Amino acid sequence: GAVVSQHPSRVICKSGTSVKIECRSLDFQATTMFWYRQFPKQSLMLMATSNEGSKATYEQGVEKDKFLINHASLTLSTLTVTSAHPEDSSFYICSAPSGGDEQYFGPGTRLTVT
Amino acid sequence: EDQVTQSPEALRLQEGESSSLNCSYTVSGLRGLFWYRQDPGKGPEFLFTLYSAGEEKEKERLKATLTKKESFLHITAPKPEDSATYLCAVPGTTDSWGKLQFGAGTQVVVTP
């Protein structure tokens, strides 16, 4: 299957700081990528759609000014959590399609805000 | 409102003890249903896509089936390495296959 990577795998930051998470498609190009969030013992929830060459679209209830998304190239999307707070601590996962209908997911980034 | 419900929440199996997981959905105009496997601390790993009622897909000890109201993931003679959380998901909108609505998952533990 297609390979999606994320960096970093884990990050700890202080409350009020910003954190950038990268999502890369390693062996295919993706004009669209998706960002999900997963809280402990819960399932994945879609946060936003990252579009190469245009603005990201956000799901209802997700603050676009807090979760900045930039689709810099056909293989890279970044999610920046601005002014992070402890309630933003979560597992952030990106996905991308590689040509079929299925999504391929990255390994996830564990964010802990202290 | 579209809903995806998985049962049971957790399943403990002895090695070799076959079982089935259920994913029921209330989605108008289902376009497809996905099964994923997720190991702790990792992203979901794609298993199957099912498009229409009556369709079946197999991979090693796993077999996924689809009816008009639900999907089943059958695990035949499971091994400890089949221990994981199994997620089903449906595309939530008509304009994108990537906007997935996930069920809560079934956590499967297979003991030797």
What 3 state SS string does chain B have? CCEEEEECCEEEEECCCCEEEEEEEECCCCCCEEEEEECCCCCCEEEEEECCCCCEEEECCEEEEECCCEEEEEECCCCHHHCEEEEEEEEEECCEEEEEEECCCEEEEEEC
pLDDT for residue B110: 98
The pLDDT confidence band at residue B94, using thresholds 50, 70 and 90, is low
For residues B41 and A100, give the distance between their C-alpha atoms in angstroms, rounded to a whole number: 26
For residues A19 and A27, give the distance between their C-alpha atoms in angstroms, rounded to a whole number: 26
Residue reference for tokens 């939530």: B92
Mark yes or no for CB contact A44/B42 under 8 Å. no
Q: What is the pLDDT along chain A (114 residues), one digit of tens a residue?
A: 689 999 999 999 999 999 999 999 999 999 999 999 999 989 999 999 999 989 999 999 999 999 999 998 999 999 999 999 999 999 999 999 988 889 999 999 999 999
Mark yes or no for CB contact A32/B34 under 8 Å. no
Whether the CB-CB separation of A33 and A95 falls below 8 Å is answered with yes
* Interface membership of A62 toward B (CB under 8 Å): no
Mark yes or no for CB contact B46/A42 under 8 Å. no
Q: Residue A43 is nearest to which of B34, B92, B105, comparing CB atoms?
A: B105
What does the pLDDT average to over B77-82? 98
Contact residues on chain A for B94, CB-CB shorter than 8 A: none
* Interface membership of B40 toward A (CB under 8 Å): no
* Interface membership of A111 toward B (CB under 8 Å): no
pLDDT for residue B74: 98
Tens of pLDDT, residue by residue over B2-38, are 789 999 999 999 999 999 999 999 987 888 999 999 9
- Parallel/antiparallel/unpaired status of strands A67-73 and A76-81: antiparallel
* Interface membership of A7 toward B (CB under 8 Å): no
* Interface membership of A109 toward B (CB under 8 Å): no
Residue B85 has pLDDT above 80, yes or no: yes
Of A36-40, A49-53, B71-75, B93-97, the one with minimum mean pLDDT is B93-97
If one counts every other C-beta atom within 10 angstroms of the C-beta of residue B87, the result is 26
